[in-house]
Amino acid sequence: MDKEYGKIRRSKRKGEKDLLDQEVFQKKRVRFEKLEGAGFVHVGGQYLYHEQILDGDFEVRVQIDENGLVSSQVIDMDLEEEYRAVQVPTARGSFVGQVREAYLAVLENLVATCFEALPFAKDQTNRLARKIEREWGDPYDRPFDKYGDIVSYRIGGKWYALILPLKLGQLGVTGPEAEKAVEVVNLKVDPADMEGLLDLPGVYPSYHMSKKSWISLVLGDALPDEKVWELVARSRHLANPNPLANDAGPDFWVIPANPKVYDIDSEFAETKVVYWTQKGRIRKGDLVAMYITAPVQAIRYVCRCLEADLDNTLYPDEPHVKKLMKVELLAQISDDVLPRERMMALGVRAVRGPRRMTKELREAVEQELRRLSDSN
């Protein structure tokens, strides 16, 4: 079987536009543990799948290597050769349309069964997005309705990272590499550092932003994650040098609490002090508001962090939990005081992980705490 697949496997021809299967599997990550259950066969370091369509006149063949790279073909079973027209979106006609529809149905079923969706095309970009969410809780948005593939990260309403797809030629690269599609992040930098930064691999003068204070960094592992993160953190600071973070006093955080995973209501009914998985950079003395996720979608509890970065010795059956923090309940807020709609109006559009409160949300929380204190 492996030899047969190898015979028909083809690479993209020079000048050929993106193939249909590449569009289907773009921004998807294979879940290898699901493949054999979906009918894939592991042969010679590759996973192979085949399924006949249109009464056996054609066969869809899918191949996934150990790096997760996917290719597929539609085989005309009478001619025993690849039916290439189905891969070209511009190919028209009722017959090719019928074959394409059946082919796409097979691929989309495999995507639903064996793949997970990713926000970005490149692995390094996805790693960066996960780290931003884990460390800062900053959500991304799409600032341009006309260009839905451009994503921005903000602090205090100001951009500090703009992620967009480009071709290297748009960054000034010439020659054969000019047409190569890449994913870049535009970052704010200190103009005094510009000359040295442009000597780094993958760093270019900024695309469509001030070349005096912004760079475009190609996300494709030319720079290690540690250096990329250093540049992103620096950009975030430059975009908002006076964030809510208060080095001289406590920070104010909001974190998600999923009632389907953990019954925090019962926990707080029994005790005012609980241990919680360590979140982001929360430290001793910080104020922590707990946002109860769907179906509630509101801030319900306000706590004070008593201790942070504690080794997890309490839950040995949960080895994925490395660190804990100890929090004390200060107040319970009615769900109609700070529901999701009001939080959005106060500048918090999503709570997917720990994030600092906006100035407006912080003031609303403090106002409610004062009201509760006065009523007691």
Distance CA 338, CA 332 (A): 11
Rounded average pLDDT over 173-187? 94
C-beta of residue 290 within 8 angstroms of C-beta of residue 301: yes
How far is Cα 88 from Cα 45, in angstroms, rounded to an integer?
29
Higher pLDDT, 290 or 245: 290
What are the respective helix, strand and coil percentages of the chain, to the nearest 5?
30, 30, 40
User: Do 217 and 228 touch, CB atoms closer than 8 A?
Assistant: yes
User: Of 84-93, 315-324, 325-334, which has the strongest mean pLDDT?
Assistant: 325-334
Residue 308 burial (CB count, 10 A): 18
Q: Which of 344, 329, 210, 332 shows the shortest CA–CA distance to 275?
A: 329
- Please provide the DSSP assignment of 167-196 as one string: EGGGGT--GGGGG-EEEEEEEE--GGGHHH
The mean pLDDT of 334-346, rounded to a whole number, is 95
The pair of structure tokens assigned to 375 is: 């009523």
What order of strands is seen across the sheet that includes strand 81-82?
Answer: 41-43, 46-53, 58-65, 70-76, 81-82
- What are the Cα distances from residue 196, in Å, to 36, 82, 191, 252? 49, 50, 10, 36
Where do we find the tokens 């290439």? Answer: 84
Indicate the SS3 state at residue 263.
Answer: coil
Burial 26-56 (b: 16+ CB within 10 A, else e): ebbebeeeebeeeebeeeeebbbbbbebeee
Confirm if 63 and 5 have CB atoms less than 8 A apart: yes
pLDDT for residue 241: 65
Q: Looking at residues 183-187, what average pLDDT do you find? A: 97
Q: How many residues does the chain have?
A: 376
For the 123-239 domain, the top CATH level (class) is alpha beta
Instruction: Give the pLDDT confidence score for residue 1 in this predicted structure.
Output: 37
Number of H helices, E strands in the chain: 10, 19
Q: Rounded CA gap, 4 and 6, in Å?
A: 5
Give how far Cα 123 sits from Cα of 166, 183, 224, 227, Å.
16, 10, 12, 16
**Which three-class secondary structure string do you get for 298-362?**
EEEEEEEEEEEEEECCCCCCCCCCCEEEEEEEEEECCCCCCEHHHHHHCCCCCCCCCEECCHHHH
pLDDT recorded at residue 66: 86
Q: Which residue type sits at 249?
A: G
pLDDT at 180: 92
Residue 152 pairs with which residues in a beta bridge?
141, 162
Where residue 316 falls among pLDDT bands split at 50, 70, 90?
Answer: confident
Average pLDDT, the chain: 87
- What pLDDT, in 10s, does the model give residues 218-230? 999 999 999 999 9
Rounded mean pLDDT of 192-215?
94
Instruction: Give the Cα separation of 145 and 163 in Å (integer).
Output: 15
Cα gap 156→360, rounded to integer Å? 11
* Whole-number Å distance between alpha carbons of 232 and 223: 13
What amino acid occupies position 280?
A: G
Considering only the top CATH level, what class is 252-375?
A: alpha beta
Instruction: Give me 334's structure tokens.
Output: 């009615």
Q: What pLDDT digit, counting tens, does each position of 101-136 carry?
A: 999 999 999 999 999 888 888 889 999 998 888 777
What residues are paired with 46 via a beta bridge? 43, 65
Pick from 246, 366, 223: nearest CA to 299: 366
Domain coordinates of the chain in residue numbers? Answer: 2-117, 123-239, 252-375
Q: Which of 110, 113, 99 is nearest to 53 (CA)?
A: 99
Least trusted range by pLDDT, from 61-70, 199-208, 240-249: 240-249
**Percentage of residues of the chain with pLDDT beyond 90:** 57
How many other CB atoms are there within 10 angstroms of residue 119's CB atom? Answer: 12
Task: Report pLDDT for 130.
Answer: 86
Q: Write down the pLDDT at residue 274.
A: 94
**6-10: average pLDDT:** 35
Please compute the mean of the pLDDT values over residues 190-197 and round it to a whole number: 93
Predicted pLDDT at 174:
93
pLDDT digits (tens, 9 = 90+) for 279-288: 888 888 889 9
Q: What is the pLDDT of residue 12?
A: 41
